[in-house]
Chain A
Amino acid sequence: SQTIHQWPATLVQPVGSPLSLECTVEGTSNPNLYWYRQAAGRGLQLLFYSVGIGQISSEVPQNLSASRPQDRQFILSSKKLLLSDSGFYLCAWSVSTGGQPQHFGDGTRLSIL
């Protein structure tokens, strides 16, 4: 069966520091991969998605970037974090054909001080 792993579960970072969140998927090949952010008490906002290695689509202008160095690895990065980057970051995967559900990891709670 397919599994998705995100780490770390919780992260506290100072303003201006860099960020690297990693997500890996097991048990499937050529998945579509996604990064979302969820503000407290709100729905999910799509940040990036990828349909293949090195292919990244950005949905909102922001202080973040994403990379997909391997088929089942998706990384969310920032060179200098802002206070507004605080939130709950979720990685998800889906099969590459359309009309299939996305499956989420358990997220990273990021607090910027």
Chain B
Amino acid sequence: GESVGLHLPTLSVQEGDNSIINCAYSNSASDYFIWYKQESGKGPQFIIDIRSNMDKRQGQRVTVLLNKTVKHLSLQIAATQPGDSAVYFCAGPFGGGYNKLIFGAGTRLAVHP
């Protein structure tokens, strides 16, 4: 959801394990959600999106789950690799219109060999 913080939460995983990154939102007025990956010094990279008429969507090694009842979004990364190390953001219009994405504060994923 929409939150700000000076210290990013960090998820540390072993290479090869599955990773789950979570996002909670408080505004129900969003019918579209996006996950982005941001590597150091680069712009966010689109990973996967999901519309509110779906509960699950799969991509290559990634799955997004949407639970509208508890207002929770998660990104699952299978067989996590060192190249997956980055900050991950969830985003959505949250009632402000598709041009006004609101981003979460992000979660840092650290993959250890």
Q: B8 contacts A41, CB within 8 Å?
A: yes
In the complex, the answer to whether A34 meets B42 with C-beta atoms within 8 Å is no
Q: Choose one: A41, A99, A101, A107; the contact of B6 (CB below 8 Å).
A: A41
The reply to whether the CB of B61 lies closer than 8 angstroms to some CB of chain A is: no
Binds B, one of A13-21, A42-50, A62-70: A42-50
Contact of B51 among A41, A49, A99 (CB under 8 A): A99
Inter-chain CA distance A107–B40, complex, in Å, is: 11
Out of B5, B45, B98, name the residue touching A100 (CB < 8 Å): B98
Chain B stretch 65-90: residues in CB contact (< 8 A) with chain A: 89
**Binary contact readout A83-113 vs B (1 if CB under 8 angstroms, 0 otherwise):** 0000000101010001111111111010000
Q: Which residues of A contact B49 (CB under 8 A)?
A: 101
Q: How large is the interface on A (under 10, 10 to 19, 20 to 34, 35 or more residues)?
A: 20 to 34
Q: Which of A43, A98, A107 has the most CB of B within 10 A?
A: A43
Nearest neighbor of A101 in chain B, beta-carbon distance = B46
Q: Min CB distance, A53 to chain B, in Å?
A: 16
Contacts of B5 in A (CB 8 A): 41-42
| Count, chain B residues at interface, CB 8 A | 28
Pick the residue among B46, B99, B105 that contacts A43 (CB under 8 A): B105
State whether B43 touches A107 (Cβ < 8 A).
yes
B15 CB within 8 Å of chain A: no
| Chain B residue with the shortest CB-CB distance to A107 | B43
On whether the beta carbons of A90 and B98 are closer than 8 Å, the reply is no
Q: Which A residues between 21 and 77 are near B, CB-CB below 8 angstroms?
A: 32, 34, 41-44, 46, 49, 51, 57, 59
The answer, yes or no, to whether B24 is at the interface (CB within 8 Å) is no
Chain A residues lying within 8 Å of B100, measured Cβ to Cβ, are 46, 49, 59
The one of A6, A34, A90, A106 that contacts B99, using a Cβ cutoff of 8 Å = A34
Interface residues of A (CB under 8 A from B): 6, 32, 34, 41-44, 46, 49, 51, 57, 59, 90, 92, 94, 98-107, 109
